[in-house]
Amino acid sequence: MATRKEYRIKLISKELLNADTCYLGFDCPEIASSCIPGQFVNISAGTMFLKRPFGIASVDREKGTFNIGVKVVGKGTEQIKDFEVGTEVDCLGPLGNGFDFEGCDNVILTGGGTGVFPINFAYETLTVIGKNVTVCEGFRDARQVILNKDGYILTTDAGDMGIKGTVIAGLDTLTIEDPAKTLVCCVGPIPMMKAVSAWAEEKGMKCLVSMEQRMACGAGICLCCTVKVKDDGPDGYKNVRCCKEGPVFDSREVAWS
Amino acid sequence: MATRKEYRIKLISKELLNADTCYLGFDCPEIASSCIPGQFVNISAGTMFLKRPFGIASVDREKGTFNIGVKVVGKGTEQIKDFEVGTEVDCLGPLGNGFDFEGCDNVILTGGGTGVFPINFAYETLTVIGKNVTVCEGFRDARQVILNKDGYILTTDAGDMGIKGTVIAGLDTLTIEDPAKTLVCCVGPIPMMKAVSAWAEEKGMKCLVSMEQRMACGAGICLCCTVKVKDDGPDGYKNVRCCKEGPVFDSREVAWS
Amino acid sequence: MSKLLNVNVGSVNLKSPIILASGTCNFGRELAEYYDLSILGGISSKGLTIKPRNGNPGVRVAECASGMLNSVGLQNPGVHYFIENDLDFMKESGAAVIVNVAGHSFEDYIDMVTTLDPHKDKIDALEINLSCPNVKAGCMTIGSDPEAIKAITSKLRRLTDLPLWIKLTPNVTDIKATALAAQAGGADAVVLINTLMGMRIDIRTRRPVLTNNTGGYSGPAVKPVAIRMVAECAQVLDIPIVGCGGIADYKDVIEFMIAGASAVEIGTACLVHPALPVDITADLEKYCEDNGIELKDLTGTLQRW
Amino acid sequence: MSKLLNVNVGSVNLKSPIILASGTCNFGRELAEYYDLSILGGISSKGLTIKPRNGNPGVRVAECASGMLNSVGLQNPGVHYFIENDLDFMKESGAAVIVNVAGHSFEDYIDMVTTLDPHKDKIDALEINLSCPNVKAGCMTIGSDPEAIKAITSKLRRLTDLPLWIKLTPNVTDIKATALAAQAGGADAVVLINTLMGMRIDIRTRRPVLTNNTGGYSGPAVKPVAIRMVAECAQVLDIPIVGCGGIADYKDVIEFMIAGASAVEIGTACLVHPALPVDITADLEKYCEDNGIELKDLTGTLQRW
Ligand SMILES: Cc1cc2nc3c(=O)[nH]c(=O)nc-3n(C[C@H](O)[C@H](O)[C@H](O)COP(=O)(O)OP(=O)(O)OC[C@H]3O[C@@H](n4cnc5c(N)ncnc54)[C@H](O)[C@@H]3O)c2cc1C
Ligand SMILES: Cc1cc2nc3c(=O)[nH]c(=O)nc-3n(C[C@H](O)[C@H](O)[C@H](O)COP(=O)(O)OP(=O)(O)OC[C@H]3O[C@@H](n4cnc5c(N)ncnc54)[C@H](O)[C@@H]3O)c2cc1C
Ligand SMILES: Cc1cc2nc3c(=O)[nH]c(=O)nc-3n(C[C@H](O)[C@H](O)[C@H](O)COP(=O)(O)O)c2cc1C
Ligand SMILES: Cc1cc2nc3c(=O)[nH]c(=O)nc-3n(C[C@H](O)[C@H](O)[C@H](O)COP(=O)(O)O)c2cc1C
Ligand code: FES
Ligand code: FES
């Protein structure tokens, strides 16, 4: 059935996670009841013309609320960070394809930067449905660490918290028992996702990655947000929509550049 | 001395005068201390690109506050009416030339529509400096009557309050003792100001009128707001800036169209 | 739906003046998740070419004041794939089917029209895109030259009975000249306007935000230019005009129709609010009822000073 | 004031790239009430003609998304009155004096330059306005035709040693062609851009909001078009470019300079915030200090993809 998918939603909580990242809670039963990890919402950012996409970071299905984490990188995110509790904004969602956990017993969640937000939602979901979950997150240094939980493997480039190195150093501490039944999900900067994909593929595990691209609509109608996937056509690649075919892709399909 | 003349001012009170007109109080000592009746401010109107001009309606010089009255006629005034107390807006002012009461003993203030706002400020000022003041205001019907005070002569087109007819019917009830020492100030729609000017001139009184024109800057730099004044040049008129040479003009200078 | 919204673009009858603009609705399928497409007057397909195209690489959108630049570059699955996979869906949507036709040369356009003509029972009009600013050859190059516009239009005219709507670029000195050229070539209507060419620079990297360097500007910011062009052309054309550029509410639709448009296309505003046509349609119905008019009576009622 | 903001437009040295755009500052006098004009690089006078002009009647401004249309129509006191009453004030302001020259015919422009040349000690540059969209003849008509631009520029070139800045209209198919024509005619610089032609309609009265029917579009909405044109021209011109169109903060100034501008003009944004140049100047100084650069080194540093 057709639904507008666009809601006027109220900001109900706001928390600073570190100097330039905040965690926002919104009231929206429609989105909270139907979204899955890896999906995102597109929300209006004050005076900006276009909406801005953010991965869903957490959901309370009973209360009908969800959270996003927003790192300030420009004019839009700056305005979002300044929203006061009670502000109402336009929001389109849930959008895109999330993670498909079907057919695996174990899930390794890994990521960094703002990728920890969808990882957090995936972790919440997986612990409820009872899969074996391992989380390994990488940050620049201790001050960047956000949404950390007991039992997470942590790495920092600076080495001032957790294992020194990239997430690969963290992942290398793991013993993989049944690669065919183990799924790796990675959300982070491109170099990290590339490295994790290679790591997973080498070990015979399927790996899902979540791509980012500048978006206009988030709804699959403008073709502004394409990412390259492998193809045997004349160009050797095909442009597909990050917002519609993605943002989650099988790492083997992505034509890394 | 140069001063930016633009202030970020806070809305401190809001009152509905009738269905589509509200009365707004702002905190701004700089404007409150220096403005005179007939001057206006240019205030930003929510998402609109240009500011909007409004005559100053009242001043509390001690508290450093002033009022404007806003009638909703379009997108900008609609947003202004929806401002919540506490909102901060950009405001340029005071702008334009106000009424010059020099050299007269008696002042007849007359007007209608949103013209009653500057009339109100003129009345407040004149009663303090001790001139003889008569006020005669005209409205469509009783429901439109706003800012009425004891002693005002009131006219309504509908005749459901005060004298039935235009302000001229009200003015005609006055006995003018010393026309040379009596100043008429009129702020209202063009036909009203034209009629009042003719009435005053016929009786030998000087008449000041306050003109309106769409404005961009309000500061005299764009020449968007011109009104025609009489001139013996080839065109028979000269365009002068409403915001700078006006908004108050001697009625005999205006080239009425 | 109310009959008050009925309009005609030449021989094409539309149940509403609202057409989804090419490139901002793909082929309608995604939007069918958001609302019932049968409320629409029409849907203009993504710009199609003979062969599939991947479009331009890298960043394709740059936000601007009251609008955006895009440099998608005619990514599309190719006309053959379209005919097999999307045309039926469009036809069944209940909205008029406008097929947006692009190319790099006269031959490309001829090929396209020859390929589409056999499917005329499923197509209501061909929108000949002589105005895409995001590809190196064809499109805007042809579309800035009145002689070339007339030549290509008359060539295509001989190939099909389908209504030919020529979509023109605003990046010209004299829009009347290009519109009159389309009319002289046998066009059934002109569509005004495509995007204005623009650029944005990232001052940190000192590079254009768009990997294609320049892009097409659309959204409310271009509306005054579009209205001016529609009004200018309405003074000289005998064929109908489809207005486009910056429409974001029902008042904008009315403004375009008064200026001279028989129908309108909505693009960028639907990227921000996908279900916007639902609201605009309802508002237009109310406007017609409140004012006791049929919408089509507005076309060209502009009274100049 | 910091030397870091020093720029040159050919032989004209400006202490800051910020010039007040013609028609948005009158002759500077009113703005002197708001701030000290000596912080400015220059002031471009209201467009002047030989005889005084009353300009267009009626409503002259129509607000738009992120901008406005104006149809002032070159209201000005005439060049003789200007020389007697305003030129000294401008000279004494401490900002470079740019005199904006308009006309209806070749003869008008020749008359104007001949009249102004004797006052060259008080004038830093003549800005030849071939781009005003609000008058019936001259200006934009000449400014859309490369041949006419070249012809008039070379005529004026012979009449004065004063720097000639040719101000061009964006309402053309190929801005490179008109800019190159100005250069070929002997211009010292081009100023890009004047306003885009637009229209707004009042849907209640079904009349154009502007009594002149059309007007010139300015403000942030036109910036992407202006940046594109500056960047295009920077690729082909040997003479400097003065950028203009939609500047509203220091970042916009930097964007124009990276695109290829040696200096910039600010217009509409100052109508909304008269003292804006004070803030922009301070922000630019801070930018230069923070980044350890001189502003003029930014000009033309755009790295295309
Ligand atoms: C599917 C998806 C999920 C995302 N999830 C999150 C999230 O959970 N938390 C979070 O903080 N951010 C997330 N982002 C990125 C976020 O959307 C951008 O940071 C934001 O749009 C920037 O807006 P701005 O106005 O502040 O920046 P702008 O001023 O527009 O740009 C500043 C810089 O941000 C980058 N940027 C702008 N837009 C995007 C974009 N759409 N994608 C990637 N980079 C961009 C550019 O490199 C640019 O230089 C996500 C992006 C996508 C596509
Ligand atoms: C010197 C001066 C003093 C004014 N004082 C007051 C006042 O005290 N109280 C008050 O309510 N209004 C006053 N006005 C009128 C007020 O500025 C306009 O009503 C307002 O700008 C309209 O804004 P809008 O966005 O709601 O209307 P828009 O959507 O811009 O236009 C709606 C209608 O309002 C009219 N309008 C728009 N701008 C102006 C303008 N600048 N002047 C006249 N008419 C305009 C037009 O006819 C238009 O059809 C004054 C105007 C001037 C020039
Ligand atoms: C992302 C995007 C893609 C577009 N693709 C096409 C296209 O393929 N063919 C075409 O004729 N116009 C295309 N256009 C132009 C629009 O159809 C429309 O003419 C223009 O955007 C102005 O209208 P708007 O302001 O309502 O968007 C595209 C516009 C956008 C924003
Ligand atoms: C009210 C107004 C009057 C203008 N008058 C002139 C003029 O007399 N001569 C001229 O060359 N340009 C004139 N312009 C154009 C500006 O100088 C400038 O080129 C244009 O507005 C774009 O810059 P902006 O977006 O910063 O305003 C005028 C612009 C406005 C808004
Ligand atoms: S953002 Fe429009 S298709 Fe993805
Ligand atoms: S509004 Fe700009 S001069 Fe009066």
3-state secondary structure chain A: CCCCCEEEEEEEEEEEEECCEEEEEEECHHHHHHCCCCCEEEEECCCCCCEEEEEEEEEECCCCEEEEEEECCCHHHHHHHCCCCCCEEEEEEEECECCCCCCCCEEEEEEEHHHHHHHHHHHHHHHHHCCEEEEEEEECCHHHCCCCCCCCEEEECCCCCCEECCHHHHHCCCCCCCHHHEEEEEECCHHHHHHHHHHHHHCCCEEEEECCCCCCCCCCCCCCCEEEEECCCCCCEEEEECCCCCEEEECCCECCC
B219 at D interface, C-beta within 8 A: yes
Residues B112 and B157 in one domain: yes
Give the closest ligand to the alpha carbon of residue D61.
4
CATH value at residue B179: 3.40.50.80
C 120-159 residues inside an 8 A Cβ radius of D? 144
Tokens of B73: 């006629």
List chain B residues with CB under 8 Å of D55.
Answer: 223, 226, 239
Task: Read off the pLDDT of each residue in D62-84 and give the average, rounded to a whole number.
Answer: 97
- The pLDDT of residue C1 is above 90: no
Best probe of the B interface among D44, D54, D74, by most B CBs < 10 A, is D54
Q: What local confidence, expressed as pLDDT, does residue A1 receive?
A: 67
Q: A223 and C36 in contact by Cβ < 8 A? A: no
Position A257 pLDDT exceeds 90? no
Q: Which of A19 and C178 is assigned the larger pLDDT?
A: C178
Where helices occur in B35-161 by DSSP H, the ranges are 75-81, 116-129
Tens of pLDDT, residues C186-237: 999 999 999 999 999 999 999 999 999 999 999 999 999 999 999 999 999 9
Examine the pLDDT at D285 and tell me if it is beyond 70: yes
Q: Cα–Cα distance between D9 and B148 in angstroms, integer?
A: 61
Q: Is B233 on the interface with D (CB under 8 A)?
A: yes
Q: Residue C134 above 80 pLDDT?
A: no
Q: What is the pLDDT of residue C94?
A: 96
Which of the residues D64, D200, D227, D228 would you substitute to probe the C interface, choosing the one with the greatest number of C C-beta atoms within 10 Å?
D228
Residue B137 in domain: yes
Q: Which residue has the higher pLDDT, C92 or D139?
A: C92
Residue type, C262: S
End-to-end CA gap in chain A: 38
Provide the pLDDT for residue D141: 77
The stretch A172-200 carries a mean pLDDT of 95
| A75: confidence class by pLDDT, cuts 50, 70, 90 | very high
| Arithmetic mean of pLDDT over chain A | 95
Cα–Cα dist C34/A108, whole Å:
35
CB C103 within 8 Å of CB C132:
no
Q: Report which DSSP code applies to B105.
A: S
Cβ distance D224 to C173 less than 8 Å, yes or no, reads no
* Catalytic, out of C25, C64, C132, C139: C132
Q: How far apart are CA A175 and CA A171, in angstroms?
A: 9
Total of domains in chain B: 3
> pLDDT value at position B1?
66
Q: Could you tell me whether strands D164-167 and B182-187 are parallel, antiparallel, or unpaired per DSSP bridges?
A: unpaired
Yes or no: is domain D3-298 CATH 3.20.20.70? yes
Cβ neighbors of D188 (< 8 A, separation 6 or more) are: D9, D10, D11, D12, D125, D163, D164, D165, D239, D240
* Averaged pLDDT for residues D34-57: 97
Residue A74 lies in a domain: yes
Q: Is the dihedral of CA C141, C143, C149, C153 positive or negative?
A: positive
- How far apart CA C274 and CA C289 sit, in angstroms, is 25
Say what the pLDDT of residue C136 is.
67
Q: Are residues A34 and A67 in the same domain?
A: yes
> B206 and B104, same structural domain?
yes
User: Which of B121, B254, B251, B131 has the alpha carbon at shortest distance from B182?
Assistant: B131
CB of D5 within 8 A of CB of D15? yes
- Which residue carries 């003792």 as its tokens? B177
CB atoms within 10 A of CB D115: 17
CATH number at residue B18: 2.40.30.10
pLDDT at D131: 82
B38 close to ligand 2 (CB < 6 Angstrom)? no
Answer whether residue C138 shows pLDDT above 90. no
How far does D56 lie from chain B, in Å, by closest CA? 9
Report yes or no: A192 at the C interface, CB cutoff 8 Å. Answer: no
Q: Cα separation of C242 and C9, whole Å?
A: 8
Query: Taking a contact as any Cβ pair under 8 Å apart, which residues of chain D between 267 and 286 contact chain B?
Result: 270-275, 278
Of D285, D232, D229, whose CA–CA distance to D254 is shortest? D285
Distance from residue C179's CA to the centre of ligand 4 (Å): 29
A116 and A200: one domain?
Answer: yes
Look at the alpha carbons of D288, D292, D297, D303 in this order and tell me if their dihedral is positive or negative.
Answer: negative
A79-118: per-residue pLDDT in tens?
999 999 999 999 999 999 999 999 899 999 999 999 999 9
Q: Where are the domains of chain C?
A: 3-298
CA–CA dist A81, B165 (Å, integer): 57
Give yes or no for residue D45 CB within 6 A of ligand 4.
no
The answer, yes or no, to whether residue C133 has pLDDT greater than 80, is no
CB C238 within 8 Å of CB C277: no
CA of B107, closest CA in chain D: separation in Å? Answer: 31
Q: How much is the pLDDT for C108?
A: 94
Answer with the one of A66, A95, A124 that is the final residue of a domain: A95
Q: Which pLDDT does position A110 carry in this prediction? A: 97
A1 falls within a domain: no
A238 domain residue, yes or no:
yes
User: Of B95, B120, B151, which closes a domain?
Assistant: B95
**Cβ separation of A222 and C75 shorter than 8 Å?**
no
- How far, in Å, CA of C47 to CA of C42, rounded? 15
Q: Are A158 and A142 in contact (CB under 8 A)?
A: yes
Categorise residue D48: left if φ over 0, alpha if ψ from -120 to 50, beta otherwise: beta
Task: Flag whether A166 is in a domain.
Answer: yes
pLDDT of residue A5: 95
How far apart (Å, rounded) are the C-alpha atoms in residues A213 and A207?
19
Q: Are D24 and B226 an interchain contact pair (Cβ–Cβ within 8 Å)?
A: no
- Judged against a pLDDT cut of 80, whether residue D69 lies above it is answered with yes
Q: Check if the beta carbon of residue A94 is closer than 8 Å to that of residue A10.
A: no
Question: What's the gap in Å between A69 CA and the centre of ligand 5?
Answer: 21
Task: Output the DSSP codes for B184-234.
Answer: EEEES-HHHHHHHHHHHHHTT-EEEEE-----S-SSSSS--SEEEEE-SST
Instruction: Specify if B1 maps to a domain.
Output: no
* Residue C263: partners with Cβ closer than 8 Å, 6 or more residues away: C7, C9, C14, C17, C18, C19, C41, C42, C240, C242, C243
D137 and chain B in contact, CB less than 8 A: no
A17 occurs within a structural domain: yes
Query: Which residues in chain B show pLDDT less than 50?
Result: none
Are B35 and B52 spatial neighbours (Cβ–Cβ below 8 Å)?
no
Active-site residue, C132 included: yes
- pLDDT of D93 above 80: yes
Sign of the dihedral through C-alpha D2, D5, D11, D12? negative
CB under 8 Å to C277, separation ≥6 — which residues?
Answer: C18, C20, C35, C39, C40, C266, C270
Among C71, C61, C27, which residue's Cα sits nearest to residue C46? C27
Instruction: Specify the pLDDT at position C28.
Output: 97
Least confident span in A57-61, D136-140, D231-235: D136-140
Residues A152 and A255 placed together within one structural domain of the fold: no
What ligand has the least distance to the C-alpha of A239? 5
Question: What confidence tier does D42 reach under pLDDT thresholds 50, 70, 90?
Answer: very high
Res. C135: pLDDT tops 70: no
- Please, which pLDDT band fits residue D72 given cuts at 50, 70 and 90? very high
Residues D86, D26: Cα–Cα separation, whole Å: 10
Measured in residues, chain C has a length of: 305
Measured over the CA atoms of residue D170, residue D176, residue D179 and residue D185, the dihedral's sign is negative
D168-224 pLDDT tens trace: 999 999 999 999 999 999 999 999 999 999 999 999 999 999 999 999 999 999 999
Q: Which two tokens stand for residue B11?
A: 């809305």
Q: Which residues of D touch C258 (CB under 8 A)?
A: 201, 203, 206
Is B217 in CB contact (< 8 Å) with chain D? yes
Is residue A74 in contact with ligand 1, taking CB distance under 6 Å? yes
Rounded to a whole number, what is the distance in Å from the CA of B96 to chain D's nearest CA? Answer: 12
Q: Which residues of C touch D259 (CB under 8 A)?
A: 199, 201
Residue D68 has pLDDT above 80, yes or no: yes
**pTM, entire model:** 0.96
Neighbours of A149 (CB within 10 A): 12
Q: B95, B110, B128 — which closes off a domain?
A: B95
Subunits close to B (at least 3 CB pairs below 8 A): D
A188 part of a folded domain? yes
DSSP H helices in chain C = 79-85, 87-92, 106-116, 140-143, 146-157, 175-184, 223-234, 250-259, 268-272, 276-291
Sign of CA dihedral A79, A81, A85, A86: positive
pLDDT tens digits, residue range B202-247?
A: 999 999 999 999 999 999 999 999 999 999 988 999 999 999 999 9
Mean residue pLDDT of chain D comes to: 96
- ipTM, 2 decimals? 0.96
Nearest Cα of chain C lies from the Cα of D192 at a distance, in angstroms, of 14
| Tokens encoding B83 | 């401002």
For residue D219, the chain B residues in CB contact (below 8 A) are 49
Tokens 């296309």 — which residue? Answer: C265
Closest Cα of chain A to C54: distance in Å?
6
Which residues contact residue B232 at a Cβ distance below 8 angstroms, ignoring those fewer than 6 apart? none
CA separation for the pair C113, D220 (Å, rounded): 40
Whether A45 and A38 have beta carbons less than 8 Å apart is answered as no
Q: Considering the candidates D25, D64, D132, D139, report the single residue annotated as catalytic.
A: D132
Distance from Cα A216 to the centre of ligand 5, integer Å = 6
**Portion 33-52 of D in contact with B at CB < 8 A:** 33-36, 46, 52
Categorize the per-residue pLDDT at D135 as very low, low, confident or very high, splitting at 50, 70 and 90.
low
Please compute the mean of the pLDDT values over residues C122-140 and round it to a whole number. Answer: 82
Domain region containing B256: 213-257
